[in-house]
Amino acid sequence: MDNKLALSIIIVSWNVKEDLADCIRSIEENPPCGEFEVIVVDNASTDGTAGAIGTDFPSVTLIANDENSGFAAANNAGTEKSQGTYVLLLNPDTIVHPGSLDALIKFMDDNHDVGACGPKLLNSDGTTQPSARRFPTLRGILHYYTILRVVPIFRSEYRKWHMRDFKHDKQMDVDQVMGAALMARRSIVEDIGRMDETFFMYYEEVDLCYRIKQAGWRIVFTPDAVITHRGGRSTDQIPVDRRMMALRSVLTFIRKHRGKRTASLFNIIFKPAVVLQNAYQFLIGILVLIYALFVFDSRKREEAARKVGRAAVCLFRYSWQILFRF
């Protein structure tokens, strides 16, 4: 390797202090053989994350942002600070398994035409978490985000995009791997440009993988490395904002890579269909809530009330933004 430092692990955190501590401990317990560094970029957490990192993990480099700059910008700040030959973007709600970091490094060392790779991800219960996808298609996006999912129209396109038939048990060239654990060559990231900070959250890794492949490099899923991903620990705190950010980001991706004209035509169908989906979820939630009240099911009542509340916010507060501002 050109650099003495083999690997830079960059972790972006936001109000997940305990998960982050577990993640860092798993790295310390299962480190790679070569020299490495861990860089935590904290996006203005209010749970004491920055102080805990400084006290409990003095070997970790901490970048403490004064405000939440978003996932892409925070990863870029970490990448700029890092020195490793390879950069591993790792979510704070992950647990590194023994030998996995070495497996990723060895795979990249042995395959010089690979620009990025990703490990096999597991859920907390040990089941496989889908972590490889094709690039999104317009019809797949329509199915996933809109009322068309109810019918279901374009379901096959959605399944193809999300690679629902892939068992994640063999190495395979893919379009993208999940940003929860994505290793890339520093030289390539520097060449094509870092993450696009237009994406505050979501689709930034899709855009990065898209540009890596456009530059002629392979992207590979390799199951020899295994990492547990608990999933959504930060974004579960903001379920409505999470949906709005995803919608904004997917439209940004379409405009960037399919062109403004295609995006404008697509939005004629997409945006009203999103609002209809929100209305559908609101009405179904109301019916489920009424049923739960009728049968005195307190658990179902509380769950339905939460869903109705979220759907109501999406429908009555954000419909105007979705239709005219996204």
pTM score, whole prediction: 0.92
Q: Does residue 277 sit in the same domain as residue 159?
A: no
Q: Does residue 172 sit in the same domain as residue 160?
A: no
CATH classification at residue 60: 3.90.550.10
State the chain's mean pLDDT as an integer: 93
Query: Given this model, what pLDDT does residue 48 score?
Result: 92
Q: Cβ neighbours of residue 325 under 8 Å, at least 6 residues apart? A: none
Nearest to 10 by CA among 34, 46, 44, 36: 36
State the DSSP code for 313.
I
State the DSSP code for 200.
S
Query: Given this model, what pLDDT does residue 233 score?
Result: 55
In a domain, 296, yes or no: yes
Picking from 148, 165, 182, the residue at the C-terminal end of a domain is: 165
Q: Cα–Cα distance between 139 and 119 in angstroms, integer? A: 28
Q: Cα–Cα distance between 222 and 205 in angstroms, integer? A: 17
In a domain, 279, yes or no: yes
Q: Does residue 150 sit in the same domain as residue 299?
A: no
| Structure token pair of residue 86 | 């390879």
Q: Does residue 73 sit in the same domain as residue 144?
A: no
Task: Tell me the backbone φ, ψ of residue 244, rounded to 5 degrees.
Answer: -65, -40
Q: Contact at 8 Å (CB) between 226 and 237?
A: no
Q: Is 32 helix (H, G, I), strand (E, B) or coil?
A: coil
Q: Cα–Cα distance between 84 and 225 in angstroms, integer? A: 19
Nearest to 139 by CA among 255, 243, 272, 270: 270
Q: Does residue 210 sit in the same domain as residue 113?
A: yes
In a domain, 187, yes or no: yes
Query: Given this model, what pLDDT does residue 172 score?
Result: 97
Q: Cα–Cα distance between 198 and 265 in angstroms, integer? A: 21
Q: Cβ neighbours of residue 185 under 8 Å, at least 6 residues apart? A: 85, 86, 87, 108, 114, 115, 116
Q: Cα–Cα distance between 106 and 220 in angstroms, integer? A: 13
Q: Contact at 8 Å (CB) between 72 and 199?
A: yes
Q: Does residue 27 sit in the same domain as residue 172?
A: yes
In a domain, 247, yes or no: no
Stretches where the chain sits below pLDDT 50 are 1-2, 235
Query: Given this model, what pLDDT does residue 1 score?
Result: 43
Nearest to 9 by CA among 90, 105, 99, 118: 90
Q: Cα–Cα distance between 127 and 224 in angstroms, integer? A: 16
Q: Is 42 helix (H, G, I), strand (E, B) or coil?
A: strand
- Domain total for the chain? 3
Query: Given this model, what pLDDT does residue 4 score?
Result: 72
Query: Given this model, what pLDDT does residue 232 score?
Result: 58
Q: What is the pLDDT of residues 24-44, one digit of tens each?
A: 999 999 999 999 999 999 999
